Amino acid sequence: MTARVDPQRLARELDTLATFSDEPAPAVTRIVFTDTDLRARAYLKSLCRDAALSVREDGVGNLYARWTGTDPHAPAVATGSHIDAIPHAGRFDGTVGVLGGLEAIRALREAGFRARRSIDLMLFTSEEPTRFGIGCLGSRLLSGSLDESAGERLTGGDGRSLNDARADAGFGDSLALVPLASDAYCAFVELHIEQGPLLERAGVDIGVVTAIAAPSSQRIIVEGEGGHAGAVLMRDRHDAFLAAAEIALGVESAARASGSDDTVGTVGVCEVFPGAVNSVPSRTTLAVDIRDVDLARRDAVLERVSAACRETASRRGVNVRAETINADPPTRCEPAIIEAIEQACDARGFTHQRMISRAYHDSLFMSRVAPTGMIFIPCRGGLSHRPDEYASPEAITRGASVLADVLARLST
């Protein structure tokens, strides 16, 4: 049995999905629970039903489209990803894993394969943190990593709660019903663009993910003393922005000092108050992201950043406090799934290499539910989260073909 992916059908569906956007092409903006998001979901559900998959959704909008196996009571196999997109993003992040997963299931069915275990295509709600400030919202909830109190606790920029937003979108079931049973799945595999340059540089077809890094996200608030830019002498200043700038450099220094390329530290947001050219900043807020696949090494970086905050506060006469937004542990992929991906590549003559995922994905939280693996395909220049994000039809077809073979093996 050889499953044959239809590259034209897959490319056409990716193109159509990209039209559901709040910005004109080539940019894609698709924020969870907006009308644009709901129309994109409706399109995906229509494709799933056309493929004779049974569709259900939970209270936060996670979607499950099932191809029922000959043993429907056995733990199922699953694949999938997300379709929400940050503002001014591209059209392949997440969507390749959703539509590629659907195409893999169709290819198996069209080849006459009969799965013993059911195979689910999953669409995870709000992998991006754009609306509610936390990534992987749907998979956090279904894995039990986030509880139902998040419904009122999490709010968007418009001040509306997650509960209000999901109810308006038609998802009214209790969040207490979202977590999956411990035996729901025996395996989960996610197909995704690499979002980095390594596969393209090496000329390798498939990346076999062995570990997924996880971030610790912090908000660091620096409070100094404001005043008129002309009247406050330099020797008397307690400038909140300059102190924050030193802390930001301390984040870079701490990450570089880890001794590993797998450690990264980023200050992605800097909000200065009052934000006037003729006023000494009295408060500055930084958003800090530190990631690694090694938890101890990541936590050591966090401690160095904390030390930098204490030293800067003392020397500059400011107050510094840090709030932890999330601190998720990294995960290792399942050796048996890694082996299955490599064997599928070898059988099809695709080159492959083992690698880690420095970006984190819904797979991180699915690994708390079931043994998990990830398949990476190259993307041009390693670019992602921008309109020129691109994966070739050939690369996408190879990834979906490998995924089909892995799903066949795991569902037998």
pLDDT tens column, 258-268: 999 999 999 99
- The mean per-residue pLDDT over the stretch 4-31 comes to 97
- Do the domain assignments include residue 299? yes
Whether 1 is in a domain gets the answer no
Residue at 364 is within a domain:
yes
How far is the C-alpha of 325 from the C-alpha of 304, rounded, in Å? 18
Final residue in a domain of this structure, among 295, 327, 359: 327
Burial of 303 by CB count in 10 Å (0-12 exposed, 13-18 middle, 19+ buried)? exposed
As for how many domains the chain has, the answer is: 2
The CA distance from 224 to 46, in Å, is: 55
Q: Which two tokens stand for residue 209?
A: 């993910």
Same domain, 127 and 137: yes
| Pairing of the two strands 119-123 and 76-81 | parallel
Q: Which pLDDT score is estimated for 337?
A: 98
pLDDT band, residue 16 (cuts 50/70/90): very high
Q: Are residues 157 and 229 in the same domain?
A: no
Q: Are residues 260 and 348 in the same domain?
A: no
Per-residue pLDDT tens for 250-259? 999 999 999 9
Q: What is the pLDDT of residues 195-221, one digit of tens each?
A: 999 999 999 999 999 999 988 999 999
Q: Which of 299, 327, 355 is the last residue of a domain?
A: 327
Least confident stretch, 132-136, 314-318, 351-355: 132-136
Do 290 and 155 fall within a single domain? no
- The pLDDT value given to residue 317: 98
What is the mean pLDDT of the segment spanning 383-412?
97
In this predicted structure, what is the pLDDT of residue 320?
A: 98
More confident position, 133 or 395: 395
Query: Do both 63 and 155 map to the same domain?
Result: yes
Instruction: Let me know whether 115 and 55 are in one domain.
Output: yes
Same domain, 288 and 171: no
How confident is the model over 60-105, as pLDDT tens digits? 999 999 999 999 999 999 999 999 999 999 999 999 999 999 999 9
Would residue 2 count as lying in a domain? no
Q: What is the CATH number of the domain that holds 263?
A: 3.30.70.360
Is residue 141 located within the same domain as residue 268?
no
Domain containing 317: what range?
A: 214-327
- Residue 62's pLDDT is 98
pLDDT digits (tens, 9 = 90+) for 288-326: 999 999 999 999 999 999 999 999 999 999 999 999 988
319 and 367 inside one domain: no
Look over the chain and give the mean of its residue pLDDT values, rounded to a whole number: 96
pLDDT of residue 352: 98
Q: Is the pLDDT of residue 157 over 90?
A: no
Domain-embedded: residue 249: yes
Same structural domain for residues 177 and 241?
no
pLDDT at 394: 98
Give me the pLDDT at residue 325, please.
87
Asked whether residue 194 falls in the same domain as residue 94, the answer is: yes
Banded model confidence at residue 405, pLDDT cuts 50, 70, 90: very high
* pLDDT reading at 1 higher than 80: no
Identify residue 159 by its one-letter amino acid code: G
| Spatial contact of 258 and 304, defined as CB atoms under 8 Å apart | no
Residues 166 and 300 occupy one common structural domain? no
Final residue of a structural domain among 265, 296, 327: 327
The CATH number given to whatever domain includes residue 109 is 3.40.630.10
